[in-house]
Structure 1
């Protein structure tokens, strides 16, 4: 095991897959000479050359469309979109083409395309650069969406995404790039669509993904000192969603809290709550609680931005309230 940053884990996965398969190439804005806005592609232009590290104009619809065409004829493009906010400019290409080509044409063509893009607030980038709109893509049949929270999962899921024959959106989070963790020296295989039980517990299930999975683990460790034993489910994948792991955990603990970085209304958490209602309703000892960001465009002012984002304290309070509700019923 080696301790590296999330940023390095993503870069290592890209580099190893490019060495493994000559059909893999990277395409996006400023990924070559400038080495990427977040330096994920540092040194890669020099190593692989301009044929496989393709700098593009500021034209998300255009270069995403070009990547879809390349994927249809046998290449494995990895598109870097500078932030998930800019993916809106390529929404037609992603939703109406990449996600639908295999189904619309009876499997005559596949689209082994990866779109990797960071999202999330907390960096004072304003409302149009701080969104968590992964729901847009997790909503669409034909897409796969993964959201790793650790360096190990970031590396393994990137490798899995590149080798997948379907379009995969890899959601990164700006707040995670400098976080560190152990990564196996030997390549790790993770199945897209399989959640991880990040921490086993008996009192309450906490379901989260991306940055909020990190918050969930920290909340669990702190609450252990109060005698609350939290089980943490790190989704890792939003589509396919591992409903089975969620349901079995809630059947064991009898209650659940869902943490998400996006807006509460119509969010990922709503789907998880519905999944729990469908599969574990008779086991619930308290209502499912949800923690999400404030329903506002992300403020620029740091104090307001911090107030809008779900916090560790918010998560811990929701868990305590859930345990209190179970205790009162008992």
Structure 2
């Protein structure tokens, strides 16, 4: 039986009668006001994600948001701030500290017509739910010969760059990318935060939505109204940017292939290289699964050289897969072996040492210099 749904007006009534704090209600009102503004405005990744969930919940009463501390607190990173006040405690609510239970409950809801959006709070906190994700979330559609769909989104704040300790800074995308039956998205820009989360919620397939924690407070000039219109048009026409990479910066000498938290670093490296007279193209992978071979390989065939950049360990990783796919498809166009700049194959270091571990502009430029420029 589907849970009861609380409307926005009922949520406002709850706020007025004290069912939620006045501060939270005020935050919800503020979020709604920002969401209604038109024209370009300064928006953070956190606000884009929050607005995407609010718009999805407004458009479809089957969309629910739940997880640890996502309700009254608004999440550790405040990504769900104001959603409980706006939509009520039956559509945005807190759960016990039991990740396996959170995912298991979401599976049951998705099987019965709901569209749960759940948060794992931190990357490594999802590991207790790994058996549920691999054995049930990823396999249910295939196991039932297509009879049962699981339209659910598992939001995973991931990767480093925030000065966190181990268990809070893992890059766990390779585990999910290796698991057939899961889509794996990771936005790198504010606009893509909104665009890709709306697409993930609309998908009838389960999506691991990997959110780069260090980019939550990145800012950009974004027209939320235009993004809403784009989403509505795509929904009406059946088109979308799902599964498509993007050329984040055009170039001619070599291709930097990155995703999620590594895209800004790749762009910074390309800007530094330009000062030295070298033109580097930057590809933002965006969707790890499905993977856009066409866009990535078109760039590498043009430049003849490539460097893959990722925060995760290099061994048996998404970066390994990208190198293999590009080498298989672009071998006769390559002027040099493909290089990688990744996290080192060690457990995540203490906060004061993470800058040595993470890919940096200098490490990327060193890899570019190693691309056999001399004949």
Which category of TM-score, normalised to the shorter sequence, fits these structures? over 0.9
| Cross-structure match for 1:127 | 166
CA distance in 2, matches of 1:298, 1:101: 33
When structure 1 is superposed on structure 2, of 180-189 and 5-14 the one drifting more is: 180-189
Alignment partner of 1:319 is 2:368? yes
CA 218–301 in structure 1, closer or farther in 2 if over 3 Å, else same: closer
Partner-residue secondary structure (3-state), 2:288: strand
Gaps of 5+ in 1: none
Deviations 1:222-261 (A, max 9, x none): 2111111111110001101111111111110001000001
- Equivalent of residue 149 in structure 2, options 105, 110, 116: 110
Number of residue pairs aligned between Structure 1 and Structure 2: 325
Deviations 1:20-66 (A, max 9, x none): 11110101001111111111111111111110012100000001110
Deviations 1:253-305 (A, max 9, x none): 00100000100111111111101111000000011010001211112141x22
Contact 2:159 2:212 in 1 (8 A): yes
* Paired residues for 1:270-285 under 5 Å: 270-285=320-335
- Equivalent of residue 68 in structure 2, options 23, 29, 36: 29
CA distance in 2, matches of 1:72, 1:16: 23
| Cross-structure match for 1:204 | 254
Deviations 1:132-151 (A, max 9, x none): 01110011111000010011
* Paired residues for 1:256-295 under 5 Å: 256-295=306-345
When structure 1 is superposed on structure 2, of 180-189 and 146-155 the one drifting more is: 180-189
Gaps of 5+ in 2: 1-39, 232-239
Alignment partner of 1:62 is 2:101? yes
| Cross-structure match for 2:216 | 177
Partner-residue secondary structure (3-state), 1:46: helix
When structure 1 is superposed on structure 2, of 293-302 and 105-114 the one drifting more is: 293-302
Deviations 1:57-116 (A, max 9, x none): 000000111011101111100001101111111011111101111111111110000011
| Cross-structure match for 1:85 | 124
CA distance in 2, matches of 1:136, 1:179: 27
CA distance in 1, matches of 2:120, 2:369: 39
CA distance in 2, matches of 1:123, 1:183: 24
CA distance in 1, matches of 2:370, 2:41: 38
Partner-residue secondary structure (3-state), 2:147: coil
CA distance in 2, matches of 1:102, 1:216: 37
Partner-residue secondary structure (3-state), 2:162: coil
| Cross-structure match for 2:358 | 309
Instruction: State the superposition RMSD in angstroms.
Output: 1.1
| Cross-structure match for 1:73 | 112
CA distance in 2, matches of 1:112, 1:87: 19
Taking structure 2 as the reference length, the TM-score comes to 0.85
